[in-house]
A = this chain, B = another copy of it.
């Protein structure tokens, strides 16, 4: 008791609001009930099982995504949420899925290789056999020497990356020191600083050369293009290899593989050892519905004055195709679904409406959330805002893997810091201790931030996101950390609940300028 005035004083100094400050109230009875349901009766792994093992890969536009979306809609309805629906956010393009994927070395000896067709590329449609050719490709002129030589060939280009044996763990958690640095530093986060102008230019040049080369290989009648974006020990990264636009040009079959299998072929070819491969891939384009959909459902608000106001939570439900997208982002979806399940199961009657949104098209450019925000809240290009814009208190997002919540990115919004700190306090002993004024990029809260709405992504332990799971062929159910997901769902439930019960909406930053004007 005696320490309270001092604590309050410290809090005031910390947030820089000496006047008018009032400690943010926390409903510890509600926290207790949420913890009981979230930590003792968790269903988050069951939800994750249906999103991953049962639904399969959930590439935007694919039948797998539709299965998962329909399942989520039904499950949310079964839990008592209202207005569950698949809401179109706009035009996406062609759906696509893999129906056969096989590649093997047949000379100098037989060995099966681990590879995945690149998204939206065609298959070979039958088993073909071809010689591997190592193409020198530093600049466009390099291609000319291969004129007339690539008919039926399987193409590789040399890469600079090699499998490394590391003496560091694949998986890690934030240390206290790292969290401190995250909270203190003014530097941009890594995910933003990654894309320097130089790197963007270099990337564009590389893509342009790649496209020129792909066109050349196609003209020359090559059979398949192989590539590697890294990954070791049977893990490899996956991506798209062709456009999903309805009018996209036809492309060659392409496959991606890990560094060992890829570099083995390169080494053999460099040593003038003939290499033959057999390939059998089949992919299916799905053109019956080019629209993209988000899954939406609500716990309706109960306060006469506030029920038109909304608190949103969500994460993207689409994934890449090489596995079942467990940490990217079935984890986030399962946690957000579990958070609303907890609130339903604990019988809360929130004042504001709580709305969950499971986005699609995230991997192609946050399309689902951006489309939704544009339809419901405003256009970041013009900053023409809708009436709903005034009604949204906050959006909470989860999309940084399976790791537990260690805190929250404040997205440059100083005024929410004391609120978030107060709401996180009952979860400090579960490891959620940190607020940082930083922005973080790369996911759907940005769509809200872009029109001046409070959109937040949580700080999460990385676990093995960068090494094993993010966009890989190994992002499957077993990568999920059950304890972490339970923790995250419990915290999100409480944050959302407090946001829904708060007298006022969360404070906002000044509105951004129209993007067109900048």
Q: Does A478 count as interface, using CB distance less than 8 angstroms? A: yes
Residues in B whose Cβ lies below 8 Å from that of A479: 163, 165, 260
Tell me which residues across on chain B come within 8 A of A162, comparing CB atoms: 478
CB distance from A283 to the nearest CB of B (A): 10
Q: Judge if A481 is at the interface, Cβ distance under 8 Å.
A: yes
Which of A53, A170, A233 has the most B CB atoms < 10 Å from its CB?
Answer: A233
Give Cα A463 to B164, complex, Å. Answer: 12
A477 near B167 (CB under 8 angstroms)?
A: no
**Distance from A352 Cβ to chain B, minimum over Cβ atoms (Å):** 36
Q: Contact string, A461-505, partner B, CB cutoff 8 A, digits 1/0?
A: 001100010000110111101000000000000000000000000
Evaluate whether A114 and B111 lie within 8 angstroms (CB atoms) in the complex, with A169-B166, A234-B233, A479-B165 already known: no
Contact assessment for A101 and B100 in the assembled complex, using a CB-CB cutoff below 8 Å: no
Q: Give the contact stretch, choosing among A54-62, A293-301, A374-382, A412-420.
A: A54-62
Shortest distance from the beta carbon of A171 to any chain B beta carbon, whole Å: 5
Whether B114 contacts A110 by the Cβ 8 Å rule is: no
Question: Is there a chain B Cβ closer than 8 Å to A173's Cβ?
Answer: yes
For chain A, which range describes its interface: under 10, 10 to 19, 20 to 34, or 35 or more residues?
35 or more
Is the pair A163, B478 in contact by a Cβ cutoff of 8 Å?
Answer: yes
Give the residue of B111, B234, B258, B271 whose beta carbon is less than 8 angstroms from that of A56: B111
**A36 CB within 8 Å of chain B:** no
Count copies of this chain in the complex: 2
Query: Is A233 in contact with B98, judged by CB distance below 8 angstroms?
Result: no
Residue of chain B at shortest CB distance from A477 = B264
Chain B residues within an 8 Å CB radius of A478 = 162-163, 232, 259-260, 263-264
Q: Does any Cβ of B come within 8 Å of A409's Cβ?
A: no
Residue-wise interface mask of A (217-242) relative to B, using a CB-CB cutoff of 8 A (1 in contact, 0 not) = 00000000000000011111000000
A74 at interface by CB-CB < 8 Å? no
Which residues of A from 84 to 116 have beta carbons under 8 Å from B?
Answer: 97-102, 104, 108-112, 114, 116
A residues contacting B by CB (< 8 A) are 49, 53-57, 63-64, 67, 97-102, 104, 108-112, 114, 116, 162-163, 165-173, 232-236, 258-260, 263-264, 267-268, 271, 273, 280, 323-324, 463-464, 468, 473-474, 476-479, 481
- Taking A49-B271, A56-B111, A98-B111 as known contacts, 8 extra A-B pairs with beta carbons closer than 8 A to each other, sorted by chain A number, are A53-B273, A97-B110, A100-B110, A163-B479, A165-B481, A166-B171, A234-B236, A260-B476
